[in-house]
Structure 1
């Protein structure tokens, strides 16, 4: 792992923990993690990016790890979480940023691209495509579709229930999510709507190949103090997110954008239509499906993700901005 230092920023009413690496003169790249992960999920990308000359910023997102975890559910809506990163960019005097996100982090990156077309110069998202703002809140649709069977997102809506199940054995919960049951796999399992989160699911005996014991320990430590409540509160804001983002309804993303998803990720199947429609919503889009790859894409296929990422950045967001200027045709 490239040498890191930890910085705490007082932004947007919270203290945000950000891990920083790379040359101080490098162009800034932000890496936003998803659920149920942590900043360490980018451990394979940090050295590749810093070696290429980028200055990397890896936050522990609101509700996770050493960052603050406010009690109110409403403190975790998408615009508030975006404001954490926007305020951090301002505090660090950043006006030219590449934003990269996976899973929920991808959702934040998509929204930031819409909110910050001047400051965010390039976007990379993993696993979660850009769907835009729907005609009604997604949670309403989920409750209808899954009225007679289990759905983990619907299950997450009742405060206090899911976090009690997850917090009872943090290591077991993470093992199940990581191997044999990603969050989307849980959605697909045919179970009673009144089921508990992990009913009938055996604890994997081994960690996945992409997660060494020492890496897994960092994941466990992330949730050891605060538990899963803050992380789950992100899911409890689907309706509030929809209500607060009406002004983004028709905003097209014009920044150069790279999207990658694993072919074996259930999201690739569930969101196949959304993925096919993305070029109408993201005008400068490059996208790839990675073979033999599931949801934890930047860990499962680190070498391929890094190669495609660095090639994209080299073309659209080179570490030395003078290279970008030199590549522009004369006016």
Structure 2
């Protein structure tokens, strides 16, 4: 299923957004991660639509061609949260169920913590609450090793060259196991001029000073034991940073790319959270 994207002008940028499902259904905001795009949800949304939900999957800043500001600081999480809120305003949604994966999960956590009036429920996939992640980085050697790639990604020019060399072999390797068609769908957009730099600027702009407060809305966190980027210490620390109803879903034998490898499990977690 391919998502049909519609440009939406917000905050001086143009974000491409895929809307689907019943127009009068409860709204679900879907936030993708690195180095993907709104299409990472295309195997998840059919179940959500069948349940009567209206979905909005956006290509976030850096991923929409009309939303690639040059300054690194323009890719701070606070800016991405403001984009998400502006998209909700643009589609006349006061409050939404929010689902995020990878960097999209980071945006979703900060959105839910800072704007609980706009978030009905939260389902975060792969990446835990930013305070839990920061705690794991500070105390767990295994998590520091898992996150060591971030230092490379933060090096302007060097990271782009490494990831795109030899027909983007390293970037393709990131998605090992997803199949050639799926891998191409993610890699080819990153080969467009400026696209990979904009996507990597999320890493270059990140700061542990932006750690979010506790999340009060009903929350589900979905993690997989085959995730090479996020270990169990960070995953299990997540619960301490949610004061609302909380559920931890641990998947066996799935890698970091949960929406691609286990879309039914993601849809089930989202629907269960919304039903509760």
TM-score under structure 1 length normalisation: 0.74
Q: Distance in 1 between matches of 2:133 and 2:275?
A: 34
Q: Equivalent residue of 2:127, what SS?
A: coil
Q: Distance in 2 between matches of 1:300 and 1:118?
A: 32
Q: Distance in 2 between matches of 1:303 and 1:166?
A: 30
5+ residue gaps, structure 2, are none
Shift of 1:227: 3.3
Q: 1:216 aligns with which of 166, 183, 191?
A: 183
Q: Distance in 2 between matches of 1:42 and 1:91?
A: 21
Q: In structure 2, what is the equivalent of residue 232 of structure 1?
A: 200
Shift of 1:301: 1.6
Counterparts in 2 of 1:49 and 1:171: CA distance versus 1, 3 Å: farther
Counterparts in 2 of 1:10 and 1:310: CA distance versus 1, 3 Å: same
* Deviation per residue, 1:106-133 (Å, 9 max, x gap): 1000000012110111000111111428
5+ residue gaps, structure 1, are 180-207, 316-331
Shift of 1:96: 1.6
Shift of 1:66: 3.4
Greater CA radius of gyration, 1 or 2?
1
Out of 45-54 and 164-173, give the one that drifted further.
164-173
Q: How does 1:313-328 map to 2 (within 5 A)?
A: 313-315=274-276
TM-score under structure 2 length normalisation: 0.88
* Deviation per residue, 1:277-330 (Å, 9 max, x gap): 322210221011101111111111222222232222222xxxxxxxxxxxxxxx
Counterparts in 2 of 1:84 and 1:131: CA distance versus 1, 3 Å: closer
Displaced runs of 4+ in structure 1, greater than 4 A? 133-136
Alignment RMSD, CA only?
2.6
Aligned residues between the structures: 269
Q: Is the 8 A contact 1:30 1:58 kept in 2?
A: yes
Q: Distance in 2 between matches of 1:172 and 1:38?
A: 19
Shift of 1:75: 0.7
Shift of 1:27: 1.1
Q: Is the 8 A contact 2:35 2:190 kept in 1?
A: no
